[in-house]
Amino acid sequence: MRFSGGVIPAGAEDPVEEEENVEYDFHQDIARSSFADMLHDHDRNQKYYRGIRAAVGRVKARGEPVIVLDIGTGTGLLSMMAVTAGADLCYAVEVFKPMAQAARRIVDRNGFSDKIKIINKHSTEVTVGACGDMRSRANVLITELFDTELIGEGALPSYEHAHAHLMRAECEAVPHRARVYAQLVQCERLWSWAHLRPLSVGPSQLLPYRALDSCAGSHAVCDVQMSQVPPHSFTALSPRLTAFTVDFSKAVSSEPQTHRCRFVAQCSGQAQVVLSWWDICMDPDDSIVCSMAPSWTYEDPSSAPWRDHWMQSVYFLPEQSAVTQGEELCVSVSHDDYSLWYSLQPGPAPRPSCTCLAHVVWNRPRFGELNDQSRTERFVRALRQVLRQDSVCLSVSDGSLLPLFAHVLGAEKVFSVESFRMSRQVIEQLLEANDLSGRVELLEGQPEQLSRDDLQGLQVSVLMAEPYFSSSLLPWHSLWFWYCRTALAAHLRPDAVVLPRSASLHVAAVEFENLWRIRAPCGTCEGFDVTAMDEMVQRSLDFRESREAEPHSLWEYPCRALTASSAVMTFDFTRCVPQEPVSSRGSLSFTRSGRCHGVVMWMEYELTEGVTVSGGLAAPVGEQGQCQWSPHQKQAVFFLSPPQDTPADGATQLSYTFTFEPSLRDIHMDFNILPAQ
């Protein structure tokens, strides 16, 4: 069985002609979308189906013909459920043209084209009347307009318009209502994603600047698989609160609102983070509820349905504040038409926005990485090994603290290339906050553009990087450092140290607990033929000659390693990038039985002899194959299609070929699952 894939790292030229770029992005959006996850969400589908049957029954009981409006129909699945339940006519609205085309094919294949009309428009553009898209207003409103934050896909404006222009005054809605829940917690792990902590560098300590310490941060929602944030990692300061409720069967307002939740603190601690999720009630009696609650809220956590299209949200307070057990407090949630934010003040709070620039320069995993004291200590240990009193250091990472480390540890001269203005401003403020202004020279432009004058006529003795580049998506995109090192060769002393001195690409074949669902074929869903979705995705995959690896934060997605982890390619940064392609071939035996869903890949860096940093496994693989992944970086996943059952008898192997194409800055990969030779 053969699987192939490749990627083009940041900075490389796309071989697709410029006029095809829009089409290519469009096809890749389809190929990478997670429609399958939603269609495989049996809990969601069954509860929608029950709610639709009940709503259709209530309208029929009033003696009315059932006219359904399905906004955001996607595959047309909910409309087909409605017709099966007895609806007389469905108007299925879908703004995304390829999806609307797929919905037409699905509806036709299932024999519902006479009762379901697909409308390829945004719902706010739909008209009613003899010459309109709808002949009459509807009396059943079905929607699936929700995201992790509930309202982030524009649900409120869409409902507001639908009730005003497309629905009858007396109508049924599925879902009938939604409830948003919140819990105030102290969680140092999550808090480290939004605020920079003081860092110990040898005997010294680097401090964040004041604006960063009190910044409200990014307003963008932080969505996570909260089931993977165990309760023992946080202290619950409040009970689970009902933040607010939206009744979808009545007129809905998209105007900004603030809702208040008063409570008595159930223990003392630091108020840092609000955990939030929602549920949707499919009927007026709340007898059919689809919940997004994390698994640890269930009496039996294993019974919690898994889904990736809807997760849970983490909201960071602007500053942490002390809470005393028994204290009366108020959590306020405000929202506009697209987003939520929380505060501890009773009145409306302004929408958070970053004023310190750091939350624009560093994403949340990057904050966590910078706050990882263990990782900092590895870099400090490596720098201590290579720095001399006369060392001239040059850093080429984006928004890195390595230049500050090098100066504190005694380097004579430190230069840092900061290609982006805001990144440079963040580092300038950190230097000022630690009385290091002027001690580190910040250089503008790209590393390959540096001149002898930029370096004040000095030769570099230590070229360093984490390496971290803000444009990187997949682990090997950091090989950009190798190209920078090659371009800077003329500026290096003959005995210059390059840190890290090498990188290695590691792989392991895995069985995912649930992540495989996002790429599983749709086939049939709740008895309906939705194979047109598989065909659309396949055409998008075929647009390129090969499939690609995808970036995923695997700490959120449990898996078992079925093979040992192994380094399959090594990149020697002490030498320049080779001009000819470099290939690596080999195989890994399956040492554990299971269903192989894909191959995980990550980079590990050898900073100096004996000092390494991993962007993949954070600990050795467990006896049963359990994997603990670094939470700071995304790993690459190549999904096998189809997955394959593999015994642990040594008779089956994962055969691989990797080829690094220097001229394209591309890594091509090829996999076979074969009997052992």
Fold of domain 2-15+502-513+558-675: Hnrnp arginine n-methyltransferase1 (2.70.160)
Is the CATH number 3.40.50.150 carried by domain 37-176?
yes
pLDDT category at 2 given cuts 50, 70, 90 is very low
Q: Which residues of 156-175 are buried (b: 16+ CB within 10 A; e: fewer)?
A: bbbbbbbbeebbbeebbbbb
pLDDT for 605 equals 98
Checking if the pLDDT of 184 tops 80, the result is: yes
Arithmetic mean of pLDDT over the chain: 92
The yes-or-no answer to whether 178-361 and 372-499 have a common fold is: no
Active site residue 412: no
Tokens of 517: 């669902």
CA 21 – CA 199 distance, rounded (Å): 43
pLDDT band, residue 21 (cuts 50/70/90) = very low
- CATH numeric code, 372-499: 3.40.50.150
Give the mean pLDDT of 559-563.
Answer: 97
Using one digit for the tens of pLDDT, what is the confidence trace for 373-388?
999 999 999 999 999 9
**Where do the structural domains in the chain lie, given as residue ranges?**
2-15+502-513+558-675, 37-176, 178-361, 372-499
Amino acid at 562: L
pLDDT for 274 equals 97
| pLDDT(545) > 80 | no
CB 262 within 8 Å of CB 344? no
- Among the options 13, 125, 144, 623, which is catalytic? 144
Catalytic residue check, 64: no
Average pLDDT over residues 247-267: 96
pLDDT band at 540 (very low <50, low <70, confident <90, very high): low
Residue 254: pLDDT above 70?
yes
Q: For residue 658, what are the contacts with CB-CB under 8 A and spacing of at least 6?
A: 505, 568, 569, 583, 584, 585, 667, 668, 669, 670
Residue 32 has pLDDT above 90, yes or no: no
The per-residue pLDDT for 348 is 85
Residue 23 has pLDDT above 50, yes or no: no
63-102 tens-digit pLDDT:
999 999 999 999 999 999 999 999 999 999 999 998 999 9
Give the residue with greater pLDDT, 547 vs 320: 320
Report domain 178-361's class.
Answer: mainly beta
pLDDT of residue 436: 93
Comparing 278 with 218, which gets the higher pLDDT? 278
Question: Is residue 429 over pLDDT 60?
Answer: yes
Question: What is the percentage of the chain residues whose pLDDT exceeds 90?
Answer: 85
Q: What is the DSSP string of 275-302?
A: EEEEEEESSTTS-SEEE---GGGSSSGG
Provide the pLDDT for residue 25. Answer: 53
Distance CA 477, CA 55 (A): 51
Catalytic-labelled residue, pool 18, 94, 153, 448 = 153
pLDDT of residue 26: 55
The predicted-structure confidence for 484-536, as pLDDT tens digits, reads as follows 999 999 999 999 999 999 999 999 999 999 999 999 998 999 999 999 888 88
Instruction: Judge whether residue 548 has pLDDT over 90.
Output: no
Confidence of residue 34 (pLDDT cuts 50, 70, 90): low
Tell me how far apart the 2 most distant CA atoms of the chain are, in Å. Answer: 90
pLDDT at 173: 98
What residues contact residue 63 under an 8 Å CB cut-off, 6+ apart?
none
